[in-house]
Structure 1
Amino acid sequence: MTAVRWIVVGLLAMLLLLVAAHGFASRGPSSFEAQFRTQSADALAVASAPSGVISDAEVDALPAPVAEYVRRSGAVGQPHLRSFYAEIHGRIRSGPGDTWMPYTVRQLNTYGPHPHRFFLMNATRFGLPVRVFHAYDEHATMRGRLLDVVPVVQAAGDEMDRSETVTLLNDLVLFAPGALVDAPIRWTNVTGTTVDATYTRGDQTITARLVFSNGDLVDFVSDDRMRASGDGSTFTPQRWSTPVSGYAVFGDRRIAAQGLGRWSAPAPEGQFTYIELTVDDIAYNVNPDRVRPRAAQAEK
């Protein structure tokens, strides 16, 4: 066998080993997939069961534009929200000059005295799989792996906790409006269509401005969410906003189903969109089996 053929055989063997390692890493007990399902099940196990339905009186206690928004979501008469599970797709990039990466997401949030957020993203960069797992239990972490093996992002600490608390409120407002009647939020009216929400989770208290038009939320703006560096090692304070571009009905709920995420960075970047998303499916007050991908549920 020639030297060239030996090299080719060696490369093929390495490729097969890499494929096998990736397959195990993506589904094995230490995989983000396994952690997402285990932690989601644990959070659902301690989330209190829905008690009663959302009443007109509860919604009337909210500021007028928030109350109208909650009513338009179809929440009145539905059970109080204790969880939601969503499947999302879109594209994401780090900066205005970077290449967009397509992604899919599976996400579980729970509410009550100890809310949780678990967000599992599968993205592709230069044809290679990148998986990112956000977990917010007592504290928040963000971890990313290339090929499910090579660490590329690792973020934790007080700045991460604060940033994810903003995201937790954002999810609540966009995807679970009915849960606003139970949330630990202090409201401040700014104008007839603008309200400030001050939200507390554990030792973190953050504020966001909610902007409404014709009864719908059209933007969410906060200065309390910080932009992480590419590897998650540092955070930079920047204004964060999530303008809504479309609504959709899922069962008996109407929610914001299309939107953007924007950073307002100093020059030369300026304000730019770093993420675009579309909600493909969402369900409320779910059980642990619901956090399986829809394809896996169909095979069961």
Structure 2
Amino acid sequence: MPQPLATKPVSLKDLWESRPAVPTAATFDAAIFESLPPPAQRYLSWAIAPDTPLASAVRLQMHGTIKLGNQWHRFSGEEVIRWQRGMVWRATTWMQGLPILGADRLVDGGGEMRWKLLGLLPIVQASGEDVARSEAGRAQGEAVWLPSVLCQPEITWTALNDVQVQADFTAFGEPAHLTLTLDDRGAIQQVALPRWGNPEGGDYHYGTFGVVAEASGTFEGYTIPTRIRAGWFFGSDRFEREGEFFRCTIDRARYR
């Protein structure tokens, strides 16, 4: 059961500086994964350079646009993912020239969204089990920004065909079924997964969430999607019409 966040939420900086749950000094060696299905081997070899230390956290700087209602608004943001502990995404967007500041959090099982106009007037405040489960799905999908966690022995890989592979695992208290669509090199083209949410505004339920990767870049030995489009109803016409709500470019990634 997700736990409520503390009165003072864990900050992005605090999460970044916290110690990993299981410290490791391992580095990436593709030979260890020779028993995996070929698409999984191609992906990991594309995503992680030989001898790269296997990180448990990533810190991302990004910019892009986010859809609020029927309007797209620019944003700039920063995110930390600390695997199995949580994530914090802090951003600023603008509506009619006025800044909206806030954060989405999933830390130690508690999830929340807090957004304020001018940093003072509440616009969105939500928390509870449904929010935590939805944020868990988001963090699971964002494992492709922290590819080292997909090297863990508890990941089960299944080749669906020559260009698609599914990673099954549990993270942040929720089962994950991540389907990666790859090119011939192993580069990510798309990511899809069942995610808990309420994109139609009613009761929460599992829906298909997905990402289109339009560019990639390499940071500290990790190659990750750096320009993406994301949203609900992935794989259907509704994704383009109404499901897509997030477009971003990764400007920098740091690992530890």
TM-score (norm 2): 0.83
C-alpha separation in 1, matches of 2:100 and 2:60: 20
Q: Secondary structure at 1:255's aligned position in 2?
A: strand
Q: Is the 8 A contact 1:104 1:122 kept in 2?
A: yes
What does 1:147-226 correspond to in 2, within 5 Å? 147-173=118-144, 175-182=145-152, 184-214=154-184, 215-226=186-197
What does 1:204-283 correspond to in 2, within 5 Å? 204-214=174-184, 215-227=186-198, 235=204, 237-264=206-233, 270-283=241-254
2:36 is matched with which residue: 62, 83, 87?
62
- Tell me the percent identity: 19
2:78 is matched with which residue: 64, 84, 106?
106
Gaps of 5+ in 2: 1-6
Residues 61, 103 of structure 1: alpha-carbon distance in 2 compared, 3 angstrom cutoff? farther
The structure with the larger Rg is: 1
**Amino acid aligned to 1:191:** N
Q: Once the two structures are superposed, what CA deviation does each residue of 1:53-112 show, in whole Å capped at 9, x if it has no partner?
A: 1222333243321221111123331111111111010000034xx12111111111112x
Q: Aligned pair count?
A: 246
**Amino acid aligned to 1:68:** R
C-alpha separation in 2, matches of 1:80 and 1:36: 21
Q: Once the two structures are superposed, what CA deviation does each residue of 1:149-201 show, in whole Å capped at 9, x if it has no partner?
A: 1222122233222222221121112x122321126433222112112222212
Q: Is the 8 A contact 2:62 2:77 kept in 1?
A: yes
C-alpha separation in 1, matches of 2:167 and 2:22: 24
Q: Is the 8 A contact 1:73 1:253 kept in 2?
A: yes
Measured after TM superposition, the shift of residue 238 of structure 1 is: 3.5
Q: Once the two structures are superposed, what CA deviation does each residue of 1:205-225 show, in whole Å capped at 9, x if it has no partner?
A: 132322112221111112324
C-alpha separation in 2, matches of 1:102 and 1:162: 26
Runs of 4+ aligned structure 1 residues displaced above 6 Å come to none
Q: Does structure 1 residue 134 correspond to structure 2 residue 104?
A: yes
Measured after TM superposition, the shift of residue 236 of structure 1 is: 5.8
Root-mean-square deviation over aligned CA pairs: 2.8
Q: Is the 8 A contact 1:104 1:123 kept in 2?
A: yes
Gaps of 5+ in 1: 1-29, 286-300
**Amino acid aligned to 2:46:** R
| Between structures 1 and 2, the one with greater strand share | 2
Residues 259, 37 of structure 1: alpha-carbon distance in 2 compared, 3 angstrom cutoff? same
Q: Is the 8 A contact 1:163 1:224 kept in 2?
A: yes
Q: Is the 8 A contact 1:59 1:71 kept in 2?
A: no
Equivalent position of 1:35 in the other structure: 11
C-alpha separation in 2, matches of 1:275 and 1:259: 8
Q: Is the 8 A contact 1:140 1:164 kept in 2?
A: yes
Residues 63, 150 of structure 1: alpha-carbon distance in 2 compared, 3 angstrom cutoff? farther
Measured after TM superposition, the shift of residue 251 of structure 1 is: 4.0
**Amino acid aligned to 1:278:** T
1:75 is matched with which residue: 5, 28, 49?
49
Measured after TM superposition, the shift of residue 252 of structure 1 is: 3.1
TM-score (norm 1): 0.72
Q: Is the 8 A contact 1:169 1:199 kept in 2?
A: no
Residues 163, 75 of structure 1: alpha-carbon distance in 2 compared, 3 angstrom cutoff? farther
Q: Secondary structure at 2:160's aligned position in 1?
A: strand
C-alpha separation in 2, matches of 1:61 and 1:80: 19
C-alpha separation in 1, matches of 2:100 and 2:226: 24
Equivalent position of 1:84 in the other structure: 58
Q: Is the 8 A contact 1:85 1:283 kept in 2?
A: yes
Q: Is the 8 A contact 2:27 2:51 kept in 1?
A: yes
Q: Secondary structure at 1:161's aligned position in 2?
A: helix
